[in-house]
Amino acid sequence: MTTSQLDFVQSTIPGVIVIRRTRVEDSRGFLSRLYAADAFHAIGVRKPVAQINHTLTRRTGTVRGLHFQQPPHAETKIVSCVRGEVFDVAVDLRKGSPTFLRWHAEVLSPENLRSLVIPEGFAHGFQALVDNCELIYLHTASYTQDAERGVPAIDPAIGISWPLGISEMSDRDRSHQLLNADFEGVQL
């Protein structure tokens, strides 16, 4: 689906959608649309944006994630990189999904004008490919600490091929338990 400034492309995992934005430019600069409710509604994102976050990751190679929220606080995220360049990853954790534990990644940057729609039931994380990366996240649910969960970014059950060696990760992200055979996924 294409709108005047947003082109939605289905990724290799149903529900994970790559957004290719366009710029409207003139001598003053440019405008690039990050969100249009009617366009997102048309691709199945029907819940309103409940929270917007802005992050800065200072060091190349840093990995943040993989994070998600349990129902009833499950959220869709729309992630855009407004400075730098990141390897952005969505991991399917949906119970019973034919793509369970598969992942899809996109390089996001202000130059390539790509964003990623990450549906409910997916974990999300990214790796900074350069210093000083800034991301804008639109969330369809507010952060709820008791619903927050995570899986290790280096979990062999998922097998993400991070493009760089991991230079930094938070203690919280390092403490996530590896998935085991008993993990059936997130029931939506």
Residues that are catalytic: 67, 137
Distance CA 81, CA 87 (A): 10
Q: Give Cα 137 to chain centroid, integer Å.
A: 8
Distance CA 155, CA 36 (A): 35
- The CA-based angle 104-110-114, given to 5 degrees, is 35
Are the CB atoms for 135 and 68 separated by under 8 Å?
no
Are the CB atoms for 86 and 127 separated by under 8 Å?
yes
- The secondary element (H helix, E strand) that includes residue 41 is helix 37-42
DSSP-derived 3-state class of residue 26: strand
Residue type (1 letter), 49: V
